Homo-oligomer: A and B are copies of this chain.
Amino acid sequence: MIQQIKRHRSTRSYVENRPIPREVMQQLIEAATRASTTGGMQLYSIIVSSSDEMKERLSPLHFNQPMVRQCSAVVTFCADVARFSKWCEMRDAQPAYNNFAWYVNAAIDALLASENFSLEAQNQGLGICYLGTTIYTTAKLIEVLELPKGVVPVTTVVVGYPAKEHPLTPRLPLEAVWQEEKYTEHSEAEIDELYSELESSEATKALLENNELPNLARIFTERRYKREDNEAISASYFEALRTQGFI
């Protein structure tokens, strides 16, 4: 397997503010652009924020996770139909990418690019972490990053020099995600089996004690991702898509 895929882990602590040389960053962006892209259109922008000022402004939008200030750069991957549409208009062509299908196409482009960027970062000795908070605070990100209509953030990757080695995170057995020919729902017995290693790990036991909850599933539903938050985030991200012209 490709070494960088095998070794990937999320890096959550960084050597503070160590800058990434421009030629290294250029390699990461170039790797990103080699990913497949809808119709060859490259419907994304990669915003590399590395100044203290920008990290300071972005930090609260990512819930003040310390790595946002520590890392070398906060890299926001945006679905972007604005650049392509502007080119069309300049050529007397009528673009029609202000709709939901093209949010999806552009988000696909942005995400494939982000994975190449992340693997190449690790290839260059850097560490990365994806920030799911990007879709929590989208309206503010749009404001801080000054995104015009046709551009919306999809995910953020922090990148920098790892301050320590982080462990690989556990994964479910392959059968959990690998379906043959078509989809077959797992039986209850299979679900028990697929989650058993994760549920019986030392890390899980410690979590349950600290949270005074009887099982790992309830850590997810009652602590990490609660219905009221999920619904509020859905509404606000949806609204951001509307503001940016995708709905």
Contacts and interface: CB of A to CB of B under 8 A. Distances in A.
A116 to B, nearest CB: 5
A33 B87 contact: no
A170 interface: yes
Interface residues of A, number: 117
A96 B221 CA distance: 7
Contacts of A34: 1, 5-6, 8, 171
A82 interface: yes
Interface string A33-64: 11110111110111111110010000000000
B46 A31 contact: no
Contact of A147 (B8, B10, B95, B183): B183
A2 B50 contact: no
Interface stretch (A12-20, A159-167, A223-231): A223-231
Interface string A151-179: 10011000000000000011110101111
B96 A225 contact: yes
Contacts of A36: 8, 10, 118, 129-130
B1 A182 contact: no
Given A1-B123, A86-B186, A94-B221, A171 B45 contact: no
5 tightest A-B contacts by CB? A96-B227, A91-B217, A93-B217, A115-B115, A100-B234
25 contacts: A1-B27, A2-B4, A5-B34, A8-B35, A33-B174, A36-B118, A40-B169, A42-B171, A42-B177, A45-B177, A47-B179, A83-B191, A86-B186, A87-B194, A88-B220, A90-B188, A91-B215, A92-B218, A93-B217, A93-B220, A96-B221, A107-B111, A112-B115, A119-B119, A148-B185
Interface of A: 1-2, 4-6, 8, 10, 26-27, 29-36, 38-42, 44-51, 54, 78, 80, 82-84, 86-88, 90-97, 99-102, 104-105, 107-108, 111-116, 118-120, 123, 129-130, 132, 135, 144-148, 151, 154-155, 169-172, 174, 176-186, 188, 191-192, 194-195, 214-218, 220-222, 224-227, 230-231, 233-235, 237-238
